[in-house]
Structure 1
Amino acid sequence: MSETELILVNISGSDRPGVTSALTEVLARYDASILDIGQADIHHTLSLGLLFKTNASVSGNIMKELLFKASELGVQIKFTPVTRYDYEQWVKRQGKNRWIVTILGRRLSARQIASVTNIIAAQKLNIDSIQRLTGRAPLDEDVESKARACVEFSVRGNPTDLQQMQSEFMRLSATEDFDISLQEDTMYRRCRRLVCFDMDSTLIETEVIDELAVRAGVGDKVKEITARAMRGEIDFDESFRERVALLQGLDESVMRDIAEKLPVTEGVERMMCVLKRAGFKTAILSGGFTYFGNYLKNKFGFDYVYANELEIQDGRLTGRYLGEIITGRRKAELLRLLAQVENINIAQTIAVGDGANDLPMLTTAGLGIAFHAKPKVKATAGQSISTIGLDGVLYFIGFKDSFISDGSNTFNY
């Protein structure tokens, strides 16, 4: 019986249709077994790797034909023998955990990428693949003020200190002005199904209660109560009741006027369009008010809204509220409830928010994302977006720009 040989083939050069087909046809003629294959294309430059197994008696003929075919196609080819021991060691490494590291910003520099990859290397992890999720950046940096750049690393291995790695990533993102996400590459990461959002300072760039207070002529008083709550002099429930009481007598039409002028956060419309087309369920879980949550629901197509209900009588606010106050604890409870209603695992949920009262749901969700949040919230959440709009959530899920352009019916993770 002929001895078996393992040969690694590396092909590089200008990409063109039919290169992979022509080379694998040579292997097919000799009934070779392909043990591994990978291909990348960067600016029309091909990098293709093939690891195949064949009988030693025909390996010379295979390499000769591959060499002629590569010359005919105008690409370079390199052959490397692989020992059985090396292959078996490689197979053993496949059992290690896999992680997805996503870096995101307006622009990504070599310095930022080098800093991230240095941390990965220090944790004894190996980068298996790198892909760009966003479109190619314009050469003129002033052309697009809303530019986005995102690169995703697929990493294999067991970190020597996962908590330290996460902390270093968060520190780096704060000092180098970019966002970063570290996720274990499990089946749940690829099948998220429910996304829950805070409203004030997340979906919209304002705190609605402040807008209402200004219209009611009590803006300073509401700010003073908020400051007392921040100092811990009163709890959230008490501060909420005091602030709502100050809105007594405000005409309902003011709420309608504020709703129609809400400063919607950059990226919300694009994000919601993609999430809806991809079949995600979406919810607003807010310590704000249902009036404004329902306005956003009708405008963008959210599936659920849970917020505080202001009491209205004869077209004016009474200074009271109806039902239970939506606290941070209640947000986490609602997240779990919605996961049950949708019959999904809690690991398939995503929560996005900016404040300390969002932390319970951020830490409960399978993926918690702090959006333009304070350092404490960012550090606790573990994932953060601070440099671009809310559509940055799409990249942390794994979507690519090339598959989410308007009118596309195809998605890629």
Structure 2
Amino acid sequence: MTDRAAFPASSDPRAGVDAEALLTVTGEDHPGVTAALFAALNATGPAPLEVLDVEQVVVHGQLVLGVVVREVGGAGDLVARLGPLAAEVARVTDMTVTVAEVDTGGASPSVARHHVIVLGRPVPPTAVAGAARAIAGVGGNIEAIRRLSDYPVTSFELTVSGAGSTALRSALGTVAAETGTDIAVEAVGLARRSKRLIVLDVDSTLVRGEVIDELAARAGRAAEVARITAAAMNGELDFEQSLRARVAVLAGLPVGVLDEVREHLVLTPGARTLIRTLQRLGFRCGIVSGGFTQITDQLADALGLDFAAANTLEVADGKLTGGLVGEVVDRAGKARALARFAAEHGIPLEQTVAVGDGANDLDMLNAAGLGIAFNAKPVVREQAHAALNQPYLDAVLQVLGFTREVVLDAAPAEVASPV
């Protein structure tokens, strides 16, 4: 260990001013490395050191540890004085330790910082290379990369500084389209970690397929209704008008068909894992649907959800009348339902997440703190905060920044399969 007395007073013109240095430790990871470094830093002198920043990552057993320290009112060259310390730590730990000067000339300007999440099955090298080029192309710098998951999708999170949100999303959107991966962009900050509520669309999001199309098939009008549904989800038709037109063809169906359709619902792979993981992490979870309460209420009960909003089919004499009862949950109605759900639990909208696939979800997606388009129509992907085109709904967890390890800890019983 370096002796404090080994550092005589210096005539260096910088004497008496604050100095900063970066120590970088690399090598095969093993216990005690971090403790040894900080113990050595605590013992050095002549002036006490302050720790300004620490970053540590282990990649397949290889450690990279960086520590920025400052000496207040030091007497001379801090890097030179830390050299013997670095050599001693390297000897004791069998690691490589380097010391470099940190430029303290003037305050660093505030720069935008974002998380960039790259997801795929798999993630090809071209996607990471393309993302790196795109980030550099809009003036961004990659500060850190970590793996979030390897199942059911592979995902990586890049921490990026120095690029604006709009430019970053635009540049990375092109990379995603070219490489067949999903790339989401979120601002770094407490808002990301403060999310506490999620609402999911039902048809083609929480469950596979469209319930109204299944009902229409039982009325012998499947093709007609499917065309109207597609046009409405693409934003080509007013949702309420299209909904009433589709419901009208169901007139005369026995109410029992609702039970049949409900019994044949298939959850989107990963739906149960997503919900149970978020519930165990303290999230409020709900569904907001342009479908029907006769389906969604029991679905919400089965999944233990906190909230459900949908339309109600009118029934008379055991048959569907072809009409609706009460307020229609259309595009604007979905956003109102989200706001109502959040208000009931005292959660600000910026701490909410919404997931959907159709044009009637857009107001809800934009009202939420984070709106995610899931296997969505083009008009929705273009306007949502983030877009996922993976077949697994629990990929939403990676967009929220949760690692595979967090998912396993929160819901170990549900992640053996992606269902």
Q: TM-score, normalised by structure 1?
A: 0.88
Change (3 A) 1:87 1:196: same
Instruction: State the match for 2:69 in structure 1.
Output: 52
Alignment counterpart, residue 151 of structure 1, candidates 151, 156, 176: 156
- 2 CA distance for matches of 1:311 and 1:79? 74
Instruction: State the match for 2:108 in structure 1.
Output: 92
- 2 CA distance for matches of 1:293 and 1:226? 18
Q: Report the residue type matching 2:127 in the other structure.
A: Q
Q: Report the residue type matching 2:111 in the other structure.
A: K
Give the drift of 1:408.
Answer: 6.0
Residues 1:366 and 2:382 are matched in the alignment:
no
Q: Report the residue type matching 1:239 in the other structure.
A: S
Q: Deviations over 1:17-40 (max 9, x none)?
A: 110101111111124322322111
- 2 CA distance for matches of 1:221 and 1:7? 70
CA contact (8 A) 2:239 2:331 kept: no
Give the drift of 1:174.
Answer: 2.1
CA contact (8 A) 1:167 1:379 kept: no
Alignment counterpart, residue 125 of structure 1, candidates 133, 137, 140: 140
Q: Report the residue type matching 2:242 in the other structure.
A: S
Q: Report the residue type matching 1:312 in the other structure.
A: V
Q: Deviations over 1:206-262 (max 9, x none)?
A: 110110111122223423554776899964333322321221232222211211211
**What pairs up with 1:7-406 in 2 under 5 angstroms?**
7-30=21-44, 31-54=48-71, 55-56=74-75, 62-82=82-102, 86-89=103-106, 91-93=107-109, 95-135=110-150, 147-159=152-164, 162-223=165-226, 225-226=228-229, 235-405=238-408
Q: Report the residue type matching 1:315 in the other structure.
A: G
What SS does the corresponding residue of 1:155 show, helix, strand or coil? strand
Q: Report the residue type matching 1:36 in the other structure.
A: D
CA contact (8 A) 2:182 2:388 kept: yes
- 2 CA distance for matches of 1:127 and 1:233? 40
Size of the aligned set, in residue pairs, is 392
Bigger mean CA deviation after superposition, 235-244 or 57-66: 57-66
What SS does the corresponding residue of 1:87 show, helix, strand or coil? coil
Give the drift of 1:11.
Answer: 1.2
CA contact (8 A) 1:98 1:185 kept: yes
Bigger mean CA deviation after superposition, 314-323 or 285-294: 314-323
CA contact (8 A) 1:166 1:382 kept: no
* Seq. identity, %: 37
Change (3 A) 1:260 1:239: same
- 1 CA distance for matches of 2:121 and 2:266? 21
- 2 CA distance for matches of 1:231 and 1:78? 57
- 1 CA distance for matches of 2:359 and 2:410? 37
Output the aligned Cα RMSD.
2.4
CA contact (8 A) 1:105 1:150 kept: yes
Give the drift of 1:80.
Answer: 1.8
Q: TM-score, normalised by structure 2?
A: 0.86
Unpaired stretches in structure 2, ≥5 consecutive residues: 1-8, 413-419
